[in-house]
A and B are shown apart, each in its own frame.
Chain A
Amino acid sequence: MDNNNSEVRFDSDQCHLVRIDKQDVAFSAAESRNLLVAMEQARQSGIYVGCRGGGCGKCRIRVLDGDYASKRMSRAWVSPQEEAEGVVLACRIFARSEMVIAPYPPELAHSYQTP
């Protein structure tokens, strides 16, 4: 699955409420901001902040509910099947409706060799 969605538009300022499941955390995310940076800018925490670029995997989450657009994220941390099931990197997705998410950070010592 080619997940380099470079044609998706990320310039809308419309905002959506994002809740972190089982935590008392909610923040508003503009459609143009990735979820991780939206959380940081709302001075909230709950998802680990790493590179903010889809490379390090530290911000991995499960989307429990809601719609989103996404940019390419490293296959070292999210397989095509996982991505289809809503496992994503928070720094590479953009809210398109109200959302409920849960942290799902990767194990250390994940080994992945790129072809």
Chain B
Amino acid sequence: MRKGVMRPGHIQLRVLDMDEAVNHYRDLLGLIEMDRDEQGRVYLKGWTEVDKFSVVLREAESAGVDFVGYKCVDEATVDRLREELVAYGCKVEDIPAGELKDCGRRVRFDSPTGHMFEIFATKTQTGKWGVGKVNPEAWPRELTGMKATRFDHCLLYGPNIAGTIDLFRTVLGFELAEQVLDGEGTRLAGFLTVGMKAHDVAFIEHPEPGKLHHASFFLDTWYDVLRAADLIAMTDTSLDIGPTRHGLTHGETIYFFDPSGNRTEVFAGGDYHYPDHEPVTWEADKLGKAIFYHDRVLNERFLTVLT
């Protein structure tokens, strides 16, 4: 049952060198640099996103993810869900308005997989970038690189995904769209959505807590994924795998790494989900095909290389 959470709102990533990271997220992915703050954090977004930013880069001594935030329909929903999170047993922290520039207060909470999440309802809306609000053109002519349209989802690794998936379903109203089950019926992976998208967040069982597998950005077409691969070659960017297709969600995809080792995905296509849809199930012995639909073989790197 939906509980008033709308969509992924932002992800804060740790990077080892800010200039290199900006080259990756702004110039290669084609995200729009929207702002910077006194801490030196850089705020970006995909051009179709109406809120001011969706990606925050923080220079730090390690790579990985600080937190992922989800946007709710209103402040009353944030209040209600805050109480439910406390009742569920989460450690909850209130982050004041303005801690992220032009973002309202956020409620941060921990999770069994060791990741930090947030809910919020208020962020300055600057509208889609480069096109007007009335009679908008199809796309802005000033886009660069892969022309990523939005921050779409992230895949997180950690222990006890059953716990975090239950938290997301029970308290936040996410629905299980796809899953990987082993022979005993244990869920090794869960793909969750709060809307019609194939996934808004995904989890894979892994002993190390709080790990990031990838942050993913949406492109319009399969051809755009192939063009992204060309740009990866032209810029000598660290390639992981692709272009290929996923079995899970059936999206067309390529994985590569930012200059601090955080994995990036750009993808197109993918299935859709309605609340009355049964979860789509992949069996663990078909995991190769579930992840890499063409090769049908999982590479070691997909399961172990994380930040």
Contact = CB atoms under 8 A, between A and B. Distances in A.
Contacts, number: 87
Interface stretch (A16-24, A66-74, A95-103): A66-74
B17 A51 contact: no
B60 A54 contact: no
Interface in B283-307: 301, 304-307
A37 to B, nearest CB: 8
B192 interface: no
A100 B306 CA distance: 27
B209 A54 contact: no
A55 B64 contact: yes
Interface size on A, as a range, is 20 to 34
A54 B14 CA distance: 12
A74 B63 contact: yes
A55 B304 contact: no
Given A51-B238, A112-B62, A74 B261 contact: yes
B259 interface: yes
A114 B14 contact: yes
A76 B17 contact: no
A55 B261 contact: yes
Interface in A12-54: 49-54
A81 interface: no
Interface string A51-86: 111111010000000000001111110000000000
B16 A4 contact: yes
Interface residues of B, number: 28
Contacts of A91: 261
Contacts of B66: 114
Nearest to B239: A52
B257 A52 contact: yes
Given A6-B17, A75-B61, A114-B62, A50 B208 contact: no
The 5 A-B residue pairs whose C-beta atoms are closest, nearest first, are A55-B261, A55-B63, A51-B261, A53-B261, A52-B238
Given A4-B16, A74-B307, 18 more contacts: A50-B301, A51-B262, A51-B263, A52-B238, A53-B257, A53-B261, A53-B262, A54-B16, A56-B305, A56-B306, A71-B16, A72-B17, A75-B61, A76-B62, A76-B64, A108-B207, A108-B304, A109-B207
Interface of B: 14, 16-17, 19, 60-64, 66, 114, 207-210, 238, 257-263, 301, 304-307
Interface of A: 4, 6, 49-56, 58, 71-76, 91, 108-114
